[in-house]
A and B are shown apart, each in its own frame.
Chain A
């Protein structure tokens, strides 16, 4: 099946620093989604991207849909302690949109006050 490579696996940063994480794939996706998961909870959708090259912001979060449609990145600016959690990327294809997504393995973010 399709696979997403998400990096880095973990990050340890100081409060106030900017963060960048990305996902790459050998397959083309028509949709890229970014989720955040707090411990013991379900993932929460942060940003959805639907066009190659699209750059979308949600507060301090910015995500881009790679022009090749095989990658996406998520940036977090001026991190705060509540940004701690696991961030997942997910890719959807036109054939499976609305039915199946492929998830990366997650980036564990730790923010030191």
Chain B
């Protein structure tokens, strides 16, 4: 299973874009990148996933580099409710392996 590396914490001003980086240099060709988040005391919540192309949905955008060794999750207009731990996961063999994630604090 490919390993991911994320900064332990980040701050973002409310209303600004939050850009969360993730390194996954050992990703293999058929592995997807998934992003989940966990708001305090709640279960993890799916955000977005991608393979090669950039993806966008109602929650976020996912930018994957051409060599697929890193990706960035973008929350275009962060709100206080986006304060959470964000997990970047490379899916392996039917299970999600959660790392430490990035604790994003959105401040007024």
To the question of whether A and B form a pair in one complex, the answer is: no
Interface residues of B, Cβ cutoff 8 Å to A? none
The residues of A with any CB-CB pair to B shorter than 8 Å are none
